[in-house]
Chain A
């Protein structure tokens, strides 16, 4: 059973399009993180959200934490080929025994 469900698993879009990736769970998290991973590398943190309803922006990326702290979304505006990669959400909290749990990832491909 996957604790964190990401959707979609694969996304192939043209440069300039917008997209949203979802991360859902039935569990409550103290914080939720989004990572980006490129081939042959380890994941790198993009953002951490900790407050229910919180919205954070990082250039063309907008991250939202659900009010109940069970879900999150990542929205990319005007995607560029450099956004290509594997996007992973990860949750932490006392319900998870203090460890960081990852979703299965969303593989994004942005074509020029």
Chain B
């Protein structure tokens, strides 16, 4: 595709439900990142994929959060038993290789609201 695509763009869910957020990176980009952004704040690193493997999962806030990537393409971030503090914009980015000296291209994000 032309850019990084995320779906859904908005998601409202009830506390305790599971949600799945999807990211379609730019074709051929091997590196993929997930970040969380609370209102008016910077980006909180969640997880980084190089190909289909995740060398760094250190940013996942709890075991309710998991992510996978298949076929060096689509990635899914799953949040189980959502809590109100999970409400935020979840941003996905991809880059041609790793982050060293290369631009990260971002999607528009998924705004998650837990009620």
Contact = CB atoms under 8 A, between A and B. Distances in A.
A44 B4 CA distance: 12
A99 B107 contact: no
Nearest to B106: A42
Interface stretch (B37-45, B60-68, B73-81): B37-45
A45 B103 contact: yes
A30 B50 CA distance: 18
A97 B43 CA distance: 17
A50 B102 CA distance: 10
Interface residues on B, range: 20 to 34
B55 interface: yes
Given A99-B45, A103-B42, A43 B106 contact: yes
A65 interface: no
Contact of A99 (B33, B40, B42, B106): B33
Interface of A: 6, 30-31, 33, 40-45, 48, 50, 86, 88, 90, 92-93, 97-105, 107
B108 interface: yes
Contacts, number: 71
Contacts of A104: 41-42
B55 A97 contact: yes
A92 B99 contact: yes
A45 B107 CA distance: 13
B43 A30 contact: no
Given A48-B103, A99-B99, 16 more contacts: A33-B104, A42-B4, A42-B91, A42-B106, A43-B43, A43-B91, A48-B101, A86-B40, A88-B42, A90-B43, A93-B100, A98-B55, A98-B99, A99-B48, A100-B48, A102-B45
A58 to B, nearest CB: 14
Contacts of A50: 101
Contacts of B108: 40-42
B45 A42 contact: no
Nearest to A102: B43
A43 B41 CA distance: 12
Contacts of A107: 40
A66 B79 CA distance: 39
Contacts of A98: 48, 50, 55-56, 98-100
